[in-house]
Structure 1
Amino acid sequence: MVTAVDTAATAEPGAASPSPFPPIAQYAFLSDCHTGALIAPDGSVDWLCVPSFDSPSVFGSLLDREAGMFRFAPYAIAHPTAREYRPGTNVLETTWRTQAGWLLVTDALVIGPRGTPDVVTPHTRPPADNDAAHLLVRTALCLKGEVELELVCEPVFDYGRNPAVWVMDPAEPSTATAGDGSRELRIRTDLPLGVEGNRVRARRVLRAGDRAYCVLSWAEAEAVPPDGEQAHAMIESTTEYWRTWLAGARVPDHRWREPLQRSALVIKGLTYMPTGATVAALTTSLPETPGGERNWDYRFTWMRDTTFTLKALHWLNLEWEAEEFMQFVADVEPTEDGSLQIMYGIDGRRELPESTRDELSGYDGARPVRIGNAAWEQRQNDVYGAVLASILLHTRHSRRLPRRLWPIVVSQAECATKVWQQPDQGIWEARGEPQHYVSSKLMCWVALDRAAQLADIRGDTAQAASWRDTAEQIRADILAHGVSERGVLRQHYGTDALDASTLLAALFGFLPPDDQRLRDTVEAIADELSENGFVLRYRTDQTDDGMSGKEGTFLICSFWLVSALAVVGEMGRARDMMERLLNIASPLGLYAEEFDVDAGRHLGNFPQAFSHLALIEAAGRIILSELLQEL
């Protein structure tokens, strides 16, 4: 649906411009490891897709203010006093002050002890002891005085297309259901509900010590807690789940302990428990360019993320999650030539057709709103290196090479051998003409180098020698054609433009730390591809990416620069940059994809797994260096 926001879509909004859309960084993230929710500062659930991350939204106010919302907060008060996660959890607590009192609202997507098999989102991986209940539970406690509590639930199914039709339960005046033929929602509360058009609404004055609750369910009817006491117990159980899970992670006692813990919770929260896949972000179409067209659907799994995911999980000692993710990679279906796609659905599906929802206004006028991602059909030659580096990393940690992974090693090494001399779309999925991107060829080198090491582990010395020889051919080609006259790695063979993806040369050991070309590349990106100390992917006026408009600095690239500075021995600069990056985290410790340095705001899909994965690696390199200095 097009709202008044659409009339301003052609003008780039400023950070201070009045807007009905909250800043991206002001959203809180909830997860039950099947789906996730974003809660605005005013207490409204503005984004929720059920039953899974990539399902159509039922609350979509994030992308259009008329596309569905669910508020549980004080009446006529939009700005809370404080919002914070319960320490060590993805459970949100919001404290409100009104003229007459104080209120505490607690929100959780519930996880608890597993009972019967999950029929809502069936598992392909062995179920854990705890699983999603497919419930959003919200409780309220009046702390002092009296507060008028309001509940407004107005789902609009299928990304804002189908308004809800509510049916009250005649036997239970505080229970109602709504559906669109494919999905049914049920709400239960201890407030007296009334139907107003396509929404249900309730109001009650709470006095000091009074409690209230509401539960939204997309599970079977018997899963809904019958009273506030059980609703409260479910939140406590969810709190216990997250804290127990986090206790199993290896987080060093360091000044960066909290951002590392929050990043771990984000990565776990973006993991789809039924298959072990990880979504790149919770959302679709949050803009990289304010009011612009750089809007993508990130609710899928990218193969390029595999190495960074495995690095982070193993570094944090999260071996179960690492194993689950590796098995997901082993299960996905290759293409006709034996290669893996650059991305898959979280259920492993290959086809992710892209469409637009032109009736939606888009976040703050940024259009189009995209569902699906056409990049699944692109050729990106970096995928082979990402997959094989992750298999080597996992093999070293598990101390064995699983039999079912060896055929993947062979097929991906063979594919990299065939295509490394061909142009592709590059790691950033440019929609311009294919080019000989340096980072793509670099990752093909990674593919053959890691495949050779895996062959050595397997005892196949002849195959190892063959793959190692190809790796050296790729290295020689990059150094002959991918280095500019001043000794800096290029974006691609046809330009001297810089690209932050060449920092992968440091992260994957393509050149030794003391190589002058590596140091000069890191220095050039730090000095020439940065804005106010944060790193761009590339200069949009120097790159044919098929899109218009400027974009913000990329947070993953900025964290990559921290890691690269650490690799070349610039520890002081690495620490300083890390502190700058930690200082721009959202109020709840979350990161989007980009940061607009001029306006000081987060841009792009949120929260972004890649940003948090790169944070973990950057912090880990610095912490390891500090620990080694203590020996």
Structure 2
Amino acid sequence: MSSRIEDYGLIGDCETAALVGRDGSIDWLCWPAFDSDACFAGLLGTHRNGRWLMAPAEEVTKTSRRYWDDTLILETRFETANGAVALIDFMPPRGSASDVVRLVRGVSGRVRIMMQLVIRFGFGIDIPWVKRTEDGALLAICGQDMTVLRTPVETRGEDLTTVADFWVGEGETIPFVLTYGPSHLPVPKPINPADALQATEDFWTEWCSHCTYAGEHRDLVMRSLITLKALTYGPTGGIVAAPTTSLPEKLGGKRNWDYRFCWLRDATFTLLALMNSGYTEEASAWHNWLLRAAAGSPANMQIMYGIMGERRLLEWEAGWLPGYEGAQPVRIGNAAHAQLQLDVYGELMDAFHQSRVAKLKLDDGTWDLERAVVQHLAEVWNHPDHGIWERRGDGKHYVSSKVMTWVAFDRAIKSVEQFGFDAPVERWRVLRDEICRDVCEKGFDARQNTFVESYGSQLLDASILMLPAVGFLPASDPRVLGTIAAIEQHMMRDGFVLRHDPREISDEVQPIEGAFLACSLWLADAYVLAGELDKAQALFDRVVSVANDLGLLAEEYDSGLARQTGNFPQALTHIALINTAHNLSDARKSAEKPAMQRSK
């Protein structure tokens, strides 16, 4: 049986990432990149679908774990009757190859350790050919993939598994290094584990030294920033939504999606989180990724792209994997990439405007793309779409989508006003006002005194919480206050905000999924703008209280089961945590003008 989602820790090298269980098992790793096939897929199946276990071969009386200060070096400590041992896991900043390093360090006494390495390429189905090299390393090859294991410990094969048993005493450190390389190239050269550990520590310590956030919960904000950096594909600057696929939004359910791609939806939130925390280099890289990915005809712009900017993210099912705790199907790729979601145009325009305001150096072609986007949006803003939550089926006139089309025109107009660009700004002002009237007339339910999910609906949707944050209406507007009150009445469970209205009965949202953690933080942001700082702080504290012992958060939280659900760790959740922490900190310094308002 898989570990609970929150029982995993994250290690990575800014090109891919692995999940390490509290039990010492690496149950998920896609190699060589985030969107590659997994060679350890035990997370979505059993140990026979691939894992790498390192743990005491005797009863463990206590387990604890931590990250080394501000790094992505994970230490898990096991205590037994005979002594204690520390397992240090990390992935060094990538050199000529990608490595996973596991150091078994004796803390006290003498402990017997077992190692089980099950490599299964192709998402847990392809069994490699294994042989020894001349220098004693263990080589595994299947198709395009190759791994090499180097360790001073003697290993042997048992039942298509590489195993070892060894003792570690106080003061001893025994290294294991697993390296990936393309099978058609020479075997990757060995690295020095001690030097790699120092280089990894130096890399993260130096990176974290640039953080400018000095408010409350700095440890959680820093951990969220490290997580965001770990989910960044270094060569392109693209940021994946999560390093996993098909972790269920509802345990045992069918809403299992592949999140190993880059969403335009997260663009502005991501830029604000990075820029406000002092990471302008990462913000610039993200902006440049956005510009390259969205290049071309605005009519063909997608809601998400691959880490290199790929556009075809074809969805298929890995039928041989039973799924996390039986949640099927296991999906690879994401068919939602082909949906029309009008909100992404607003996110793109907002992201570019915020970059300009923050004085990031932008490509000369950025404004030309923005003009083309707005020109296209003038023709399609009133079309139905699939909304921010990527509903499958017929499109609707989603309120949040329409609001983000308003944002697109608003930011384009502000860019003209502030930076002197040439554009048909009067026509854009007319369209901006027309969209505002349309939303207020058709997307507001006067009887309930709230904005709703879509035109003509009486149901709510958590994305409407962003109306004041994007500057569509001030938080003091009675309609916004009514919307907040309606969300509080109908959309909250055990103090957390649901994404979909629980009064809706449909195959897509029933049985009801867990609370959406980013949405809970969006409500906290709305409280900040409304001057309700104590309510905002209480909600923020409630969300961070469900982070695991390492400070990591998934997409959702099932309060009934007290478990995290959805893909993990989730970039959008950590981005929202960073931004809400900034909003609270800035608002307490200056209650008159919270810095989080995006309509600069």
TM-score between the two structures when normalised by the length of structure 2: 0.95
Pick the aligned partner of 2:78 from 96, 99, 103. Answer: 96
Given the alignment, which residue of 367, 379, 387 partners 2:340?
379
CA shift in 2, pair 1:389/1:76, >3 Å: same
**1:370 Cα deviation after fit:** 0.2
Deviation at 1:394, TM superposition (A): 0.5
The offset of 1:330, in angstroms, is 1.0
Query: 2:204 aligned to 242, 254, 275, which one?
Result: 242
Partner of 1:71: 53
Query: In structure 2, how many angstroms separate the alpha carbons of the residues matched to 1:573 and 1:185?
Result: 51
Instruction: Assess, with a 3 A threshold, how the Cα gap between structure 1 residues 372 and 106 changes in structure 2: closer, same or farther.
Output: same
* Maintained 8 Å contact 2:62/2:79: yes
Q: Secondary structure at the match of 1:398?
A: coil
Gaps of 5+ in 2: 594-600
How many angstroms does 1:83 deviate by?
0.6
Q: Which moves more between the two structures, 496-505 or 412-421?
A: 412-421
Equivalent pair of 2:14/2:230 in contact (CA under 8 Å): yes
The residue number in structure 1 matching 2:161 is 199
The CA deviation at 1:374 is 0.3
Q: Output the amino acid matched with 1:240.
A: D
Decide whether aligned partners of structure 1 residues 454 and 37 sit closer, same or farther in structure 2, where only a CA change above 3 A counts. Answer: same
CA offsets 1:151-206 (integer angstroms, 9 cap, x no match): 2111111011111321122x333x10101111100000010121224221111112
- Whole-Å separation in 2 of the counterparts to 1:384 and 1:238: 38
**Correspondent of 1:604 among 561, 566, 569:** 566
Q: Distance in 1 between matches of 2:406 and 2:507?
A: 24
| Alignment partners' CA distance in 2, 1:318 and 1:399 | 11
Change (3 A) 1:240 1:337: closer
1:378, CA displacement in angstroms? 0.5
Aligned twin of 1:210: 172
Q: CA deviation at 1:293?
A: 0.2
CA distance in 2, matches of 1:339, 1:256: 41
2:252 is matched with 291
Measured in 1, the distance between the counterparts of 2:196 and 2:455 equals 57
Q: Write out per-residue CA displacement over residues 409-448 of structure 1, whole angstroms, 9 at most, x where no aligned residue.
A: 1121122211111111100000132111000000000011
Aligned to 1:221: 187
Determine if contact 2:347/2:408 at 8 Å carries over to the other structure.
Answer: yes
Contact 2:76 2:86 in 1 (8 A): yes
Matched residue, 2:395: 434
Matched, 1:168 2:149: no
Q: Show CA shifts across 1:318-365 (max 9, x none).
A: 011011111111112556554421000011110001001111110000
What residue identity is the alignment partner of 1:600?
A: A
Q: Partners of 2:62 and 2:93 in 1: how far apart?
A: 26
How much does 1:208 deviate? 1.7
Q: For the residues of structure 2 that align with 1:160 and 1:395, how far apart are their CA atoms? A: 45
**Aligned equivalent of 1:583:** 545
Of 155, 159, 173, which residue of structure 1 is paired with 2:119? 155
The separation in 1 between residues aligned to 2:61 and 2:255, in whole angstroms, is 30
Q: CA deviation at 1:236?
A: 1.8
Q: Structure 2: how far apart are the matches of 1:552 and 1:430?
A: 17
Determine whether 1:619 maps to 2:581: yes
In the alignment, residue 290 of structure 2 is paired with which amino acid?
Answer: V
Percent of aligned pairs with the same amino acid: 36
State the 4+ residue runs in structure 1 displaced beyond 6 angstroms: none
Q: Which of 54, 63, 71 matches 1:81?
A: 63
> Is the CA contact (8 Å cut-off) linking 2:459 and 2:503 kept in structure 1?
no
RMSD of aligned alpha carbons? 1.8
Return 5+ residue gaps in structure 1 as ranges. 1-19, 119-132
Aligned to 2:365, the other structure's residue is in SS state helix
**Aligned residue pairs, count:** 587
| Match status 1:23 vs 2:4 | yes
Aligned residues of 1:401 and 1:458 also touching (Cα < 8 A): no
Alignment partner of 2:406: what SS? helix
The answer (yes or no) to whether the contact 2:336–2:390 under 8 Å persists in 1 is yes
Partner of 1:571: 533
For the residue of structure 1 that corresponds to 2:138, the secondary structure is strand
Q: What SS class does the counterpart of residue 48 from structure 1 fall into? A: strand
Return the letter of the residue paired with 1:90: L
> Retained in 2: the 8 A contact 1:42–1:80?
no
Query: Counterpart of 2:529 in structure 1: which amino acid?
Result: V
Q: 2:224 aligns with which of 263, 266, 271?
A: 263
Secondary structure of the equivalent of 2:177? strand
Provide the secondary structure at the position in 1 that maps to 2:393.
coil
Q: Which residue of 2 aligns with 1:50?
A: 31
Preserved contact between residue 166 and residue 198 of structure 1 (Cα < 8 Å): no
Deviation sequence 1:444-499 (CA, Å, 0-9, x none): 00011011112223424652232222111100100111100132111001211111
SS in 1 for 2:480: helix
Could you tell me which residue of structure 2 aligns to residue 135 of structure 1?
Answer: 99
- Residue aligning to 2:152: 190
Aligned position for 1:448:
409
The corresponding residue for 1:477 is 438
Describe the shift of the 1:482–1:72 C-alpha distance in structure 2 as closer, same or farther (beyond 3 A): same
* Distance in 1 between residues matched to 2:343 and 2:4, nearest whole Å: 34
Is 1:35 the counterpart of 2:1? The answer is no
Q: Please say if residues 499 and 516 of structure 2, whose CA atoms lie closer than 8 Å, have aligned partners that are also in contact.
A: yes
1:119-161 residue CA offsets vs partner (Å, 9 max, x unmatched) = xxxxxxxxxxxxxx51000101111110112221111110111
Cα distance in 2, alignment partners of residues 517 and 373 from structure 1: 36
Cα distance in 1 for partners of 2:553, 2:276 equals 20
Asked if the contact 1:453/1:464 (under 8 Å) is kept, the reply is no
Scaled by the length of structure 1, what TM-score is found?
A: 0.90
- Residue 390 of structure 2 aligns to a residue in which SS? coil
Letter of the 1:296 counterpart: W
The equivalent residue for 2:518 is: 556
Q: Mapping of 1:90-129 within 5 angstroms?
A: 90-111=72-93
For 1:454-533, list aligned pairs within 5 A: 454-460=415-421, 463-485=424-446, 486-533=448-495
Q: Distance in 2 between matches of 1:410 and 1:543?
A: 41
Whichever residue aligns with residue 71 of structure 2, its letter is T
Tell me which residue corresponds to 1:12.
none
- 2:30, 2:375 → 1: CA distance? 39
